[in-house]
Copies of this chain bind each other. A is one copy, B any other.
Amino acid sequence: MTIPYPNAKIERRIRNMGFRLTPQRDLILRVVASRGEHATFDEIYADVHTAAPHVSPATVYRTLETFGRYRLIHANEIAGGRVYELAGEDGHHHLICHKCWGVSRVPDAQVRKLFKLLEKQTGFLVLGEHFMFMGICPDCRREKGDELGRFSVYPKFRIKTKKRSKKDE
């Protein structure tokens, strides 16, 4: 399987940071890349495990954590779970609707502008993180109201890991 990195510079960045580019890491990055916008640990591990059964969950956890720290991968909490995506050229952030759970994007530049304003006021430079803003999308706003009732905070799904357990297959 050869999934190309959307961003060919990643390899260089890894080495520049002083990390070793192991086959495991390479595979994991490709899997995350192939999964697109928001892959769960289980999805990632499943793919990795299919391609290379010997790779342990610990390695996947560690890799996501390590690269997450160094912003090669964006990790975000959403609906009670964590999702990952490859940090790409096309910086963008996500807007997630509490009601319909639709995901839309805002270009990074647009969000940066906001933080520029914040910087003017506080002197604090907000760095290149990836944000997931929760709220109500335009469509849903037209429907009812903006208030969150008792049963509407995580209405449709929760990111939950499904049993991985024993010698899976």
Task: Mark A residues whose CB is within 8 Å of B.
Answer: 17-18, 65, 69-71, 77, 80, 95, 97-98, 104, 106, 110-111, 113-115, 117-118, 121-127, 129, 133-138, 141, 146, 148, 150, 153-154
Q: List 16 A-B contacts (CB under 8 A).
A: A71-B148, A77-B77, A104-B122, A106-B121, A106-B124, A114-B115, A114-B117, A114-B118, A118-B133, A122-B138, A124-B133, A124-B135, A124-B137, A125-B146, A126-B133, A129-B133
Measured between beta carbons, the chain B residues less than 8 angstroms from A136 are 124-125, 127
Q: Give complex CA distance A125, B97 in Å.
A: 9
Q: How close is A107's CB to chain B, nearest CB, in angstroms?
A: 10
Measured between beta carbons, the chain B residues less than 8 angstroms from A137 are 123-124
CB distance B126 to A17 under 8 Å?
Answer: no
Measured between beta carbons, the chain B residues less than 8 angstroms from A126 are 95, 133-135
- Residue in B closest to A16 when the chains form the complex, CB atoms: B150
Q: How close is A61's CB to chain B, nearest CB, in angstroms?
A: 12
Known: A17-B150, A114-B114. A141 touches B125 (CB 8 A): yes
Q: Give complex CA distance A125, B113 in Å.
A: 17
CB distance A18 to B150 under 8 Å?
Answer: yes
CB distance A121 to B110 under 8 Å?
Answer: yes
CB distance B77 to A65 under 8 Å?
Answer: no
Measured between beta carbons, the chain B residues less than 8 angstroms from A141 are 123, 125
Q: How close is A4's CB to chain B, nearest CB, in angstroms?
A: 26
Q: Which 10 A-B pairs have the closest CB atoms?
A: A123-B138, A114-B114, A126-B135, A127-B135, A95-B124, A125-B136, A125-B135, A126-B133, A69-B153, A17-B150
